[in-house]
Structure 1
Amino acid sequence: MTSFLRVLALLWSAGLLVVLVGAFRPETPVLGLAGSFVTGQYPLHLTLAAVLGILIGLAARRAAPFTGYLTATVALATVIGMVTVLAAQGRAASDEGVRLDWTEALTVLGQPSGAPDRTVEYAPGRELDLYLPSGPGPHPTMVWVHGGSWVGGERDDRTAFNRWLADRGWAVAAIDYRLPPTGWGSGGTGAGTEPIGRDQQRDVACAVDWVRAHTGDELDPARLVLAGQSAGATLALSTTSGLLDGTLACSEAPAALGGTGPADAPPPAPGPPPAGVVAFHPPVDLALIDPDLQQTLLGGAAADSPGLMRLLSPSEQVRPELPPTLLLLGSADHYVDPARVTAYDAELRAAGVPGRLVTVPYADHVFDRPFGSPGAQLGREAAIRFLTGLD
């Protein structure tokens, strides 16, 4: 038992120390990533683990005084650190007028099934899950675009969030979109395949066309919003821009309109422009993403593809005509550059685009994956208030 307690105490204190250092020094290699992901998604659980660490240290100190006191000290420091994190996230929520449910933060660890009302094919080989409010329509509608670094992901990545929106009067169409074959972009079996970025935008545009075509008792295309997380957020932002300026539609626009389609292609079908965009932790500047992903999206380095960069990268598309845009970001995001997203938000507001940036302290990428996390609670409340303000 003595040896077991000593080993347990050492392992427990090492785990706590990794997260503690990473949470407050997110720039630290490896540790920063581990710490910010835990504090962004499960800060309350880490606080309880630290309290338990104090008890383990005290239990071990009789047989192994140095190990016991070391564990108890690290655990106490972690408790203090996590209280700081929880307080900062609580203040951020309070500033938004959101009261966090700590029981939910403790118990809802993933993304429970939102049980879509039906699944339909919105384009050949492409499906969407439709979440509908219970009351009479037509309902304002959100097209949700999943994340996955443009090479993976599933349309049910935020299924509980989608149902939550439907319960508050917003229909949600959560879509899939074409993905590159395995190995494309890294010299694998997909080498030689056409870059996928523009086709993914076309799929989102096809979903918009589907919503526009299904007006009536359920969906209101005049109150259509594009939204997504991570790569899906980038697609939502850039597709909105393409729909507004006429360079993008389900069938590609002609070159005369700035698109890449045949010169004799008909112009895109007109329709109501998106009323807004909700973007969770979006990579807004494709020049900053991994070179393999640039190859996947652009067919080469960003610097060598200025035309596609203008069409795919939100940072290249800032202008006053864009609709209201809500950005949500973790302050310690390791996948996107928080400073670049903050600068992008400033560029939007300087151009006269309504909206705002909401930042979750001590949170990394996909802080909203657990439905109960403080960041998820804050993010969805900010989103519904933004959407309500569009009516």
Structure 2
Amino acid sequence: MNQAANQSFDVEIRDVVYLDKAGAPLEARMYLPRGEGPFPLIVEIHGGAWCRGSRLDEHTLNEALAKRGIAVAAIDFTMPPAASYPASLCDINFAMRWVKSTAAQWRTRPELVGLLGVSSGGHQAIVTAMRSRDPLFAVEPLPLALAQTDAGLNADIDARAAFVVACWPVIDPLGRYLYAKALQSSGKPYPPAIDRVIPDQEKYWLTEDAMAEGSPAIALERGEPFDMPPVLYLQGEDDIVHPRAQLERFVTAWQRAGGNLTLRLYANEAESFITKQLDSAGTANAIADIGDFVLQQTETILAASLS
């Protein structure tokens, strides 16, 4: 992978259907570096407070990563009003297994597949990684044609991630909901996003109990057993939509549990800076940090496979 780290790749971009749910196809936009590989592959989960957005949202980020030799599968998933929690997490869990079962098509390997998510997508990336074999999410079986390869049946393929990149995740949905409600009740000025995220959270989660059940920060504090792949956690220092105190709670709990987590904070950057401030120094640094992290994790995995 040293070659990939120092090379700019041409990129093939195409859309494929990864899951057809009762005639409602879900697509992935594939960003594929041209070359032999094996390349790491990121399943990318867009933001939008669980209710808005599409696989096209992070095009600039995904294309930049592919040019560094990192394949990306940017996915659509089920959102309200079609279905609420946990429908999207079931789709994401399936997408991870789908990518692994078709890894050779994307010039990757199953053990090189990780997750990247933005805001609510960052939350879903962390949950998917932590609870990769949870029967609440692993409900869609792989089609037999994908579950069987030259090596035999792969029905045991799961959604475990090699690594996770979490860009300003909503790391505690219940805590963020209560925080947003308090900001709103205190009166303006507050970020316009607050007026959007409150109804979106209510549409997706339906109840505060569900927000707590699906909270990575609360789960860690309860001491529940989870998968803990290496994590890169990014956030702007001026972000007040994703409370800093909740970030610090999660980072402390993850590290206390023995997890490997790298935190990157970017000065003078607010929420969603990578996707909104495309020309800022913080965005350029963050995209470089993401690429460096993924390629480093890939080198470590490939080196271990040879030892």
TM-score under structure 2 length normalisation? 0.74
Structure of greater Rg: 1
2:132 aligns with 243
**Counterpart residue type for residue 176 of structure 2:** I
Q: Of 280, 283, 292, which aligns to 2:199?
A: 292
| 1:137 CA displacement | 2.8
| 1:347 CA displacement | 1.3
Aligned length: 246
1:353 aligns with 259
Cα distance change of structure 1 residues 162 and 288 upon mapping to structure 2, 3 Å threshold = same
| 1:272 CA displacement | 6.4
Deviations 1:112-165 (A, max 9, x none): xx9862100000110010001111133211000001111101212221211111
| 1:288 CA displacement | 2.3
Deviations 1:32-56 (A, max 9, x none): xxxxxxxxxxxxxxxxxxxxxxxxx
Cα distance between partner residues in 2 of 1:119 and 1:321: 30
Cα distance between partner residues in 1 of 2:282 and 2:217: 25
* Contact preservation (8 Å) 2:240, 2:271: yes
Residue pairs, 1:235-384, within 5 angstroms? 235-245=124-134, 247-251=136-140, 269-271=156-158, 273-290=160-177, 291-300=198-207, 302=208, 304-305=209-210, 309-310=212-213, 312-318=214-220, 321-369=227-275, 370-384=277-291
Are 1:166 and 2:69 an aligned pair? no
| 1:248 CA displacement | 2.6
- Secondary structure, aligned partner of 1:216: helix
- Secondary structure, aligned partner of 1:317: helix
| 1:207 CA displacement | 1.1
* Contact preservation (8 Å) 2:113, 2:162: yes
1:208 aligns with 96
**Counterpart residue type for residue 278 of structure 2:** F
Structure 1 unaligned spans of 5+: 1-113, 182-192, 253-267
Structure 2 unaligned spans of 5+: 1-9, 142-154, 178-197, 299-307
Q: Which moved more, 1:268-277 or 1:324-333?
A: 268-277
Q: Of 47, 57, 61, which aligns to 1:157?
A: 57
Cα distance between partner residues in 2 of 1:153 and 1:116: 23
1:130 aligns with 30
Cα distance between partner residues in 2 of 1:298 and 1:232: 14
1:106 aligns with none
- Secondary structure, aligned partner of 2:77: coil
1:84 aligns with none
Deviations 1:70-92 (A, max 9, x none): xxxxxxxxxxxxxxxxxxxxxxx
Q: Name the % identity.
A: 28
Cα distance change of structure 1 residues 250 and 167 upon mapping to structure 2, 3 Å threshold = farther
- Secondary structure, aligned partner of 2:110: strand
Cα distance between partner residues in 2 of 1:317 and 1:389: 28
1:223 aligns with 112
| 1:362 CA displacement | 2.3
* Contact preservation (8 Å) 1:320, 1:353: no
1:198 aligns with 86
The answer to which structure has the higher strand fraction is: 2
**Counterpart residue type for residue 127 of structure 2:** S
Over the aligned positions, Cα root-mean-square deviation in angstroms equals 2.3
**Counterpart residue type for residue 285 of structure 2:** L
* Contact preservation (8 Å) 1:276, 1:323: yes
Cα distance between partner residues in 1 of 2:133 and 2:291: 23
Cα distance between partner residues in 2 of 1:223 and 1:115: 19
TM-score under structure 1 length normalisation? 0.59
- Secondary structure, aligned partner of 2:95: helix
